[in-house]
Structure 1
Amino acid sequence: MRPPPSRLSDYVLSETFTTRWADNDIYGHINNAAYYGFIDTAVNRFMIAKAGIDIHSGPVIALVVETGCRYHAPIAFPQDVVVALKVVRLGNSSVTWHAGLFESPASPGDTAAAEAHFTHVLVDREQRRPIAWPDQLRNALTSAMGQARTDEPTA
């Protein structure tokens, strides 16, 4: 049996994105590839703004190694989307996020239109081999774990 959709209150961080006309597909709702774009943007904005990843010239980069998404309800342009995030697993060199996408404005009890998992592995920029999270990054990721939700945007 499929679990029920998560609620906004299940997440720690959130950010609102504006949908674009081009995000709609032939069926009149946001295309699944756009959902992944919203999630990727929210996670990477956190990694840049809060964890201090320098995507242009830093010694480390975070590569996506796995994603997956369950869809519960359609969202269509011009509806804004709230992407809510939390870290659910923090390994030596990997981090797994859970993301919920909600129609905006969203209240704590609202259920997700879609839910996803998103896993990064931290690697050396040149060698592309996994490395342990430096303290600054690990501390930022740890701050995104837990039950308490804030309304502070991720970036």
Structure 2
Amino acid sequence: MNAEYPHWQTVPLRWKDNDVYGHVNNVVHYSVMDTVINTWLIERGRLDIETGEVIGLCVESQCKYHASVSFPGELEVGLRVGHLGRSSVRYEVGMYSKETVIAEGHFVHVFVDRESRRPVPVEGLLRSALEELRTGLG
């Protein structure tokens, strides 16, 4: 695993992830990124996605594909924070299979008040969890 990422999570591929061309469809990569990010936020940042006052909204995402992968298999997914602002965060994600980079992408979340949808500062346990993922890149 690549030391550039402070956190790693294994994500199993599913039969339904393959498309008619016999490889994992591109939309699955976005779902994997979203899953790994939100797992970290819920488990480490104690983000309450169901009733919490603060939620994260994705305002930007991108994925670059380097190689294909197919079911059966799994992805080793690296997660880091490239930039942590007052109310936003840029996550950077690397997806690997057997030491081969499959895809690299990023998500930008803006944390907002659930009701008003206005940006709020990233504070407390959430900020601490995101700080753990900082790489010194931003």
Give the equivalent residue in structure 2 for 1:76: 70
Q: What displacement does 1:135 show?
A: 2.2
Give the equivalent residue in structure 1 for 2:45: 51
Give the equivalent residue in structure 1 for 2:84: 90
Say whether 1:19 aligns with 2:13: yes
Q: Which has the higher strand share?
A: 2
Task: Find 1:140's aligned residue among 124, 129, 132.
Answer: 129
Work out whether residues 8 and 111 of structure 1, in 8 Å CA contact, stay in contact via their aligned partners in 2. Answer: no
Distance in 2 separating the partners of 1:143 and 1:10 = 13
Say whether 1:116 aligns with 2:110: no
Q: What displacement does 1:43 show?
A: 0.2
Distance in 1 separating the partners of 2:104 and 2:112 = 26
Work out whether residues 72 and 113 of structure 1, in 8 Å CA contact, stay in contact via their aligned partners in 2. Answer: yes
Which residue type is aligned with residue 101 of structure 2?
A
Distance in 2 separating the partners of 1:102 and 1:111 = 5
Distance in 1 separating the partners of 2:82 and 2:33 = 15
Task: Find 1:62's aligned residue among 53, 56, 61.
Answer: 56
Where do 5+ consecutive residues of structure 1 fail to align?
Answer: 1-6, 148-155
Say whether 1:28 aligns with 2:22: yes
Superposed CA deviations along residues 114-147 of structure 1, whole A, max 9, x for unmatched, are 0001111100000001010122211110011127
Give the equivalent residue in structure 2 for 1:151: none
TM-score normalized with structure 2 length? 0.94
**Matched residues, percent identical?**
43
TM-score normalized with structure 1 length? 0.84
Distance in 1 separating the partners of 2:19 and 2:6 = 30
Where do 5+ consecutive residues of structure 2 fail to align?
Answer: none
Distance in 1 separating the partners of 2:109 and 2:29 = 17
Which residue type is aligned with residue 68 of structure 1?
Q
Work out whether residues 124 and 130 of structure 1, in 8 Å CA contact, stay in contact via their aligned partners in 2. Answer: yes
Q: What displacement does 1:111 show?
A: 4.2
Q: What displacement does 1:8 show?
A: 2.1
Distance in 1 separating the partners of 2:60 and 2:16 = 25
9-18 or 116-125, larger mean C-alpha shift: 9-18
Taking only aligned residues, the RMSD between alpha carbons, in angstroms, comes to 1.3
